[in-house]
Amino acid sequence: MHEIIKKLSAGVPLNIDEFKKIVENENSSFKAEITDMAVKQRKNIYGNKIYIRGLIEISSFCKNDCYYCGLRRSNQNAERYRLTKEEILECCNQGYQSGFRTFVMQGGEDAYYTDARMTDIVSEIKKQYPDCAVTLSLGEKSYETYKKYREAGADRYLLRHETADCEHYSKLHPSEMKLSSRKKCLEDLKSLGFQIGAGFMVGSPYQTTENLAEDLLYLQELKPHMVGIGPFIPHHDTPFRDMPAGNTELTLYLISIVRLILPYALIPATTALSTVDEYGREKGILAGANVIMPNLSPVLQRKKYLLYDNKAISGAEAAEQIDILKAKMNNIGYEIVIDRGDAANL
Ligand code: SAH
């Protein structure tokens, strides 16, 4: 283990067995060392700055049927909504005033947002807020569609790979969804010049230590600019309703490891983390994360974007209450900045 940690801190690529060994040693005396090294790396590169992103959840309609997600098409009980261009622009307006310089539009895979509609929205945001970055997180699209998004001015794209193991992927998704397609999307996005974000859930059903090692190996190879890692949380109207939620400690440990594999990465302390743990945002930052994505969606729609049960949406989660978040971050020695917050190695 000592040798592996040395390699990790020196930026030497690890193999699958080494990653497996690290993940297995979560409860060992090495954990504190890894956390310390991760925070040191993060401070070397990003100081005590925290970048914020205004998360606009544009649609709860989805054509996919992922077994873990509350927005899956088979969920008859889900309340569906979608935002108009005007509503989205109003979110940006409010967000800009609160100090946000990145807007993330996330949603289910909703055919309403044709290429024409989406590029119109993206280019209008870029026109009105030229100093802001636009991030999209709208699922799997064709190369041509991604190209149009990019030409309209989108800067970044978040598409978690969910799990880097084919067999595990097939236990989380219906057969029409393939890991190979997901990976191809990430490659397409990268080749189009997007800053890309991958990531996975911790403690998703049937996940093994080996799977997590594969996730780390995949991230090491892909080298995404952003990595989203959060605990799986069951949703009562999905096939995984009775599955246990992912573990906070293991999530934090994986955040630290990813910080060491990809020192420049933008890593959020996710909403899922703060849903399973009251101090999730703080703990995420103290494990090496450097991004927080408060909810900028219209307050009336917010409770309808339910990926999982009890999703945190109030207080420090809410963009309009950014002052609460600022105070919380100051308390642990960090500072929220008004900045696009691009990766430092771009
Ligand atoms: N449709 C888009 C956005 C998905 S929602 C896409 O396909 O990328 C964003 C992320 O929420 C997903 O990538 C998934 O990792 C996470 N998520 C979904 N359901 C979840 C659950 N039950 N628990 C924790 N995270 C979940």
Which residue, 286, 234, 283, 225, is CA-closest to 53? 225
d(Cα 189, Cα 158) in Å, to the nearest integer?
Answer: 10
For atom 12 of ligand 1, which residue has the closest CA? 160
Mean pLDDT, 10 residues at a time, over the chain (346 residues)? 93 97 94 97 98 98 98 98 98 98 98 98 98 98 98 98 98 98 98 98 98 98 98 98 98 98 98 97 98 96 96 90 96 98 93
Q: Whose CA is nearest to atom 6 of ligand 1?
A: 139
Answer whether 275's CB lies under 8 Å from 110's CB: no
What six digits make up the tokens of 189? 């996005």
pLDDT at 1: 87
* Ligand 1 binding pocket, CB closer than 6 Å: 68-69, 106, 108-109, 137, 139, 159-160, 162, 201, 230, 232-233, 235, 272, 307-308
Q: Residue 193: name the closest of 155, 228, 243, 140 by CA.
A: 155
Q: How far apart are CA 99 and CA 76, in angstroms?
A: 37
Mutate to test the pocket of ligand 1, among 57, 67, 68, 140 (most ligand atoms within 8 A of CB): 68
Task: Check residue 85 and report its DSSP letter.
Answer: H
The predicted model scores a pTM of 0.98
Query: Best of 178, 201, 236 to mutate for ligand 1, by most ligand atoms within 8 A of CB?
Result: 201
Q: Domains (ranges, CATH) in the chain? A: 30-335 (3.20.20.70)
Which residue among 69, 82, 161, 226 has the greatest number of ligand 1 atoms within 8 angstroms of its CB, and so is best to mutate?
69
User: Which residues are registered as beta bridge partners of 52?
Assistant: 292
Instruction: List the residue whose alpha carbon is closest to atom 18 of ligand 1.
Output: 69
What pLDDT shows up at residue 346?
Answer: 85
* Torsion sign (Cα): 62, 222, 295, 255: positive
Residue nearest to atom 24 of ligand 1 (CA): 232
Distance CA 212, CA 71 (A): 25
Alpha carbons 52 and 289: distance in angstroms, whole number: 12
Measured from the Cα of 240, ligand 1's closest atom is 22
Angle at 334 between CA 135 and CA 225, to 5 degrees: 30
Token pair 């996940």: residue: 207
Stated as kind and residue range, the H or E segment containing 231 is: strand 226-231
Q: Cβ distance 332 to 50 under 8 Å?
A: no
Q: What is the pLDDT of residue 314?
A: 85
Cα(331) to ligand 1 centroid in Å equals 30
Closest-lying ligand 1 atom to the alpha carbon of residue 272: 24
Query: How far is ligand 1, taken at its centre, from the CA of residue 69, in Å?
Result: 6
| Rama region for 319: left / alpha / beta (φ>0; ψ in -120 to 50; rest) | alpha
Q: How far apart are CA 69 and CA 102, in angstroms?
A: 25
CA–CA gap between residue 59 and residue 62 (Å, rounded):
8
Residue 108 CA to ligand 1 center (angstroms) comes to: 9
